[in-house]
Structure 1
Amino acid sequence: MKHRGRHRRRRRGRALRAVLAGTALSLTAAATLISASQAQVTDGPGALRALDSPVARGELRLTGHRVPAAWLDRLSSAMGRPVGVDEVLGSAGRELRDAADCGAEERAALPVVPAATRAYCWDEADARGWRPGAVTTSAGAGEDGRWGGRRVIASAWTSGDGPGADGGRTGDAVPAATGRGLSRVAFVDADAPGRPRHVSALLVVPVDGGRDYRGLASPVSGMVWYRDKLLVTAGAGDRAALYVYDVDRVLRAGAGGDAVGRVPGGWSAHGHRYVLPAVAAYRPAAGGPRPAALSLDRTTTPDSVVAAERVAADAARPARLWRYPLGEGPAPAGPLAADRAGHVEAVEAYETRATGIGGVLARRPPGSGRGDWYLARAAGAPEGRAALGRQNGAGAEAVECGADRSRHCWSADAGSLAYREDTGEVWSQSGRMLFALPLASLDASLR
């Protein structure tokens, strides 16, 4: 009885913190709107225009390349038995803080409208020297939206001061990166009692026949979790457009230090306990766009991955949105549906006048016959706030806030978007805040 009473008091405490957090978020949002200069309502991006020509579709083609199984086996043999994300989460010792326990400066990164209903912040020590990137969840990992019995959120981060890539070593099975920085994925146990616990794995690419690995020297702006694979975007300095990671192939790196790869006495991962080696990569067509944002759409048959490219506000051309089908069975070069030559074709594509796209979702409302595309995009607003809108073949709608009908209502950054069917929530992150809100509230805010 004493234990149950204590649990009830804890639940009441958490509920009270949630209420306080909501109040604090509302006050912060109101202060932001009052202090910001009046923002003019600009013309919206209008309706989507379908891209149906073979040439336009051909530019969106990807070609898959596997990392040889012998390479992966050699790496595992040297580093020890691979483990899965579920086992790794069992060792998670770091925690996120509830929004009520976060500072006002941190909470200022949250959306004004619609308001976040769940929000957490990363500890400063966990985020120092790293920039937030894409978010995805285990919603597509299984029918129940769980992995290893847990609801998991995957949060990508890129180092601003990590070592540069080596430009590729002889024998790389997948394209080598030429940019700087390192990328990691933090796996968050959203079902953990109390504060969500998390653990990170450095993203790496096997080299030298699997005798070593290099860091993925590329920011991760888009990411999708489907079954046992993560699809991760690669930046312009990389010959690959997407990398594929297997969440059941996490390896332990025991040596300390800032090095990445084999070191005297073991393996190092820039201070991380775990590495996640790429198992495949998708290379873009010559002159084709590189996905900047990704998300999973389970309203199509088969399930699909939607992508968006990011163009600047002063670009002389529109941005493109497109869709790749997912395979219904195991695929040697990754989860995307491919032909015998390893080519992946876009099954749907559009042009949009939206610029600065950082997040994309696509949904086909039951019985409507139309496809809606939700875009988070940098708007150049005061306070650095982004805009959130919805487009389809008929037109565009935007979230508005304040008496001036400002469209600068979204988070401080146009971050990636991920939808969970099992909870009806859209997840994103901005600054040190990881947050969620119902898709229904987003739809209700569109005008």
Structure 2
Amino acid sequence: MKHRGRHRRRRRGAALRAVLAGTALALTAAATLISASQATVAENPGPLKPLTSRADTGPLRLQEHLMPDSTLNRLAASMGRPVGVDTVLRSADRTLHEGADCTSEDRASLPVSPAATRAYCWDPADGAGTAWQPASVTTSGDADEDGVWGTHRVILTGSTHSTTTGDTAERGLARVAFVDADDPDHPVYRWVLLVVPVDGGDDYRGLASRISGMVWYQNKLLVTTTTGSADALYVYDLDRIQRTTVDAPAIGRVPGGWSADGYRYVMPAVGSYRFSAGRCTTSGPPCPAALSLDRGTAPDSLVAGEWTAPGSDRHARLWRYAFSTDPARGGLLAADATGRVDAVEAYRTRASGIRGVLSYPQAGSAAPSWYVGRLSGSGDGHGGLWRQDTEDAKAAHCGSDASHRCWARSAGSLSYWQETGEVWSVSDRMLFAVPLAVLDRSVG
């Protein structure tokens, strides 16, 4: 279904691409070298193993659960008319700072190879030292192939609050930064808290989940949920953002209106997907850790990667679901009449600690390559980014000892912006982009 604002969209031509091309960031030596303690060569994950048997693909089946319209309408009737992305962007109250203006500690979290050509650190109120951990990214390039939403270029980044430190009311919650990226020299943003309607729409609770992966497709935002959750994915509607009316520590209905611990906007879930076989386990359904969009398939598909602990010898799974082509189900996965969603492709990989996954077709190859971003074996420091297919696996080399730990520090998910040719990701301190062509050359 076409978004009601799409008739206003203006394609950027060569001029936009020239503005976005940028130049490689000038990083200090401290920001580009990996210490000797980090220089151990990562284990090569080897080629992907296709999974075709029902025993292997069955645990990947999802069951769709959509919120009743009555629940969403009751919440909107009480909170007021929902708003969209434009409204949130107009109220942006924080600024991202370009890499050259960030600290050396911030820049040291960026990839060593390939080097980022665009990078930003957060407003000081959201930077290192807070209890919020950035982990996921998606863009208006995912939402629509022309790269804009309405008239804006937008980046969404997801963060999860620590479950043990910081503000008690926020512990374990998830929020999304709506970044206005129209001016790449001065991007601004505003946070929106993710919530889930309860009591038939008479109230809402915060989404207590680690959103390590998310994809914005058409007017829907799909996010991963916490390991062990009954739900594999939650679904949000970018046209159903609600304003809060009371600035209080509580989350939900309060005397005099609606509160979200100081956040002006909340986004209520409109549905979820659960594994038919139950909660994710080591032997059953996987625990999704990373998501991305693949426009190289027909129809477009949602790519997912399984979480396994860094250094684990348990082989993780990579798989995909097709998106629905039904105009009445814009942004939702392709499901049968009973709401069942089956994976349309799946693999095993020896890679562990997966935090980012991307699938993209290679010229001259019938099958796509899979890019897998991994945490280091110790779970901290710089990780690796591998390109895998059913034949082999390759990664960028860096340092005098040919270490593979060249990717960002504590890197998050991957998102390919087709219009600009950039792959976006996050480190534990920065939001950054690398041209896909440069990434390809770096891995051989």
Structure 2, unpaired ranges of 5+:
1-18, 278-283
1:376–1:148 distance in 2 versus 1, CA, 3 Å: same
**Contact residue 31 and residue 104 of structure 2 kept, 8 A:** no
Alpha-carbon distance between aligned partners in 1 of 2:82 and 2:421, rounded to the nearest angstrom: 33
Aligned to 1:149, which of 148, 151, 173?
151
Distance 2:292 2:216 in 1: 9
Contact 1:381–1:408 (CA under 8 A) maintained in structure 2: no
Distance 1:206 1:334, change over 3 A: farther
Relative distance call for 1:280 and 1:108 in structure 2 (3 A) is same
2: CA distance between counterparts of 1:388 and 1:189? 28
- Choose which of 208, 211, 218 in structure 1 pairs with 2:202: 211
User: Match of 1:22, SS?
Assistant: coil
Deviates most, 425-434 or 309-318: 309-318
CA distance in 2, matches of 1:164, 1:97: 28
Partner of 2:30: 28
Does residue 369 of the first structure (1) align with residue 372 of the second (2)? no
Shift of 1:315: 3.6
Q: Secondary structure at the match of 1:241?
A: strand
**Is the CA contact 1:45–1:352 (under 8 Å) kept in the aligned structure 2?**
yes
- The count of corresponding residues between Structure 1 and Structure 2 is 413
The CA deviation string for residues 126-156 of structure 1, in whole angstroms up to 9 with x for no partner, is 3433111211111122231111211110000
1:374–1:390 CA contact under 8 A, matched in 2 = yes
Q: Does residue 386 of the first structure (1) align with residue 389 of the second (2)?
A: no
Conserved 8 A contact 1:379-1:408: yes
Establish whether residue 446 from structure 1 lines up as the match of residue 443 from structure 2: yes
| CA 1:278–1:439: 2 relative to 1, 3 Å | same
SS at match of 2:406: coil
Q: Does 1:197 align with 2:194?
A: no
Say whether the 8 Å CA contact 2:313–2:352 is kept in structure 1. no
Change (3 A) 1:306 1:69: same
- Residue 248, structure 1, aligned to residue 239, structure 2: yes
How far does residue 379 in structure 1 lie from its aligned partner after superposition? 1.8
1:221 aligns with 2:212: yes
Give 1:289 deviation, angstroms: 1.1
* Matching residue within 264, 275, 278 for 2:269: 278
**In the aligned structure 1, how far is the partner of 2:90 from the partner of 2:442?**
39
Answer whether contact 1:358 1:416 (CA < 8 A) is retained.
yes
1:217 partner SS: coil
User: TM-score with structure 2 length normalisation?
Assistant: 0.89
Three-state SS of the structure 2 residue aligned to 1:384 is: coil
1:34-61 Cα distance to aligned partner (Å, 9 max, x none): x433723244111100100012111000
Q: Which residue does the alignment assign to 1:136?
A: 138
**C-alpha distance in structure 2 between counterparts of 1:94 and 1:224, whole Å:** 23
The equivalent of 1:90 in structure 2 is 90
Query: How many angstroms apart in 2 are the aligned matches of 1:305 and 1:80?
Result: 32
8 Å contact from structure 2 (residues 228, 287) kept in 1: no
Partner in structure 2 of residue 311 of structure 1:
308
Distance 1:208 1:303, change over 3 A: same
| 1:202-239 C-alpha deviation (Å, 9 max, x unpaired) | 00000001000000000100000100000000112431
One-letter amino acid matched to 2:348:
E
Question: Paired residue for 1:421, among 418, 421, 428?
Answer: 418
Partner letter of residue 22 of structure 1?
L
Query: Which string of whole-angstrom CA distances, capped at 9 and with x for unpartnered residues, describes residues 376-430 of structure 1?
Result: 0012369711101100000100111111101111111131100000000000011
Would the aligned equivalents of 1:37 and 1:382 in 2 still touch at CA under 8 Å? no
Distance 2:303 2:410 in 1: 20
The SS at the match of 1:283 is strand
For residues 401 and 240 of structure 2, the distance between their equivalents in structure 1, rounded to whole angstroms, comes to 51
Q: CA deviation at 1:194?
A: 4.0
The equivalent residue for 1:80 is 80
8 Å Cα contact 1:132/1:429 also seen in 2: yes
Change (3 A) 1:377 1:193: closer
Question: Which amino acid is the alignment partner of residue 155 of structure 2?
Answer: I
Query: Residue 257 of structure 1: CA displacement?
Result: 2.0
Task: Report the CA distance between 1:114 and its aligned residue.
Answer: 0.6
Aligned match of 2:16? none
Match of 2:111 in 1: 111
Give 3-state SS (helix, strand or coil) of 1:204's partner: strand
Per the alignment, residue 161 of structure 2 pairs with 159
- More deviation in 220-229 or 257-266? 257-266
Contact persistence 1:95–1:195 (CA under 8 A): yes
8 Å contact 2:131–2:161 — kept in the other structure? yes
SS at match of 1:100: helix
Which segments of 5 or more consecutive residues in structure 1 lack a partner in the other structure?
1-14, 166-179
Do the aligned partners of 1:162 and 1:181 also contact (CA within 8 Å) in 2? no
Rg larger for? 1
Partner Cα distance (1:41, 1:356) in 2: 15
Other structure's SS at 2:288 match: coil
CA distance in 2, matches of 1:193, 1:394: 39
> In 1, Cα distance between the equivalents of 2:229 and 2:328?
23
**Hey, what does 1:434 align to over in structure 2?**
431
In structure 2, the partner of 1:232 is 223
Cα root mean square deviation, aligned: 2.0
- C-alpha deviations, 1:293-330, integer Å up to 9, x for none? 00000011110011010112454531000010011124
Cα distance in 1 for partners of 2:149, 2:326 equals 18
Q: Does 1:288 align with 2:282?
A: no
1:12 counterpart residue number:
none
| From 294, 316, 337, the counterpart of 1:340 | 337
Pair 1:302-2:311 in alignment: no
User: Residues 147, 409 of structure 1: CA spacing in aligned structure 2 closer, same or farther, 3 A cutoff?
Assistant: same
Contact 2:316–2:349 (8 Å) recurs in 1: yes
Structure 1 residues 219-269: Cα deviation after superposition (integer angstroms, max 9, x where no partner): 100000100000000112431110000001110012112210001111111
Distance of 2:105 and 2:250 partners within structure 1: 33
Bigger mean CA offset, 364-373 vs 38-47: 38-47
Structure 1: distance between partners of 2:438 and 2:185: 26
Moved more, 121-130 or 416-425: 121-130
Matched-pair contact (CA < 8 Å) for 2:84–2:238: yes
Partners of 1:270 and 1:129 in 2: CA distance: 15
